[in-house]
Amino acid sequence: MWGGRFDEGPAAVMREINASIAFDKRLWRQDLAGSRAHIDMLEAQAIVSPEDAARIREGLDTIAQEFEERGVAEDPDLEDIHMHVEHRLAELIGPAAGRLHTARSRNDQVATDFRLWVREAIDAVDAALARFQSALVTRAAEHAETVMPGFTHLQSAQPVTLGHHLMAYYEMARRDRRRFADARARLNECPLGAAALAGTGFPIDREATAEALGFDGPSANSLDAVSDRDFALDYLFAATATALHLSRLAEEFVIWASQPFGFVALPDAYSTGSSIMPQKRNPDAAELVRGHAGRIAGALQALIVTMKGLPLAYAKDLQNDKPPVFEAHDMLGLSLAAMTGMVETVDFDAARMRAAAEAGHATATDLADWLVREAGLPFREAHHATGAAVRRADELGLSLAQLPIEELQAIDGRITDAVHGVLTVDASVASRDSYGGTAPGQVRARIAEARARLEAEGKA
Residue 445: which residues within 8 A CB-CB, separation 6 or more?
none
Reduced to 3 states (helix: H, G, I; strand: E, B; else coil), residue 262 is coil
To 10 degrees, what angle do helices 106-142 and 81-93 make?
Answer: 120
Q: CB burial class (10 A; 0-12, 13-18, 19+) of residue 174?
A: middle
Count of helix runs (H) and strand runs (E) in the chain = 18, 6
Host H or E run for residue 323: helix 322-345
Spatial contact of 431 and 366, defined as CB atoms under 8 Å apart:
yes
Q: Give 144-156 as a DSSP string.
A: SS-EEEEEETTEE
Distance CA 99, CA 25 (A): 22
SS3 282: strand
Q: Which residues are catalytic?
A: 153, 274
CA atoms of 329 and 124, how far apart (whole Å): 10
Run of H or E including 327:
helix 322-345
Pairing relationship of beta strands 189-190 and 217-218 according to DSSP bridges: parallel
Q: For the chain, first and last CA: distance in Å?
A: 52
Please state, in angstroms and rounded to a whole number, the distance separating the CA atoms of residues 108 and 56.
20
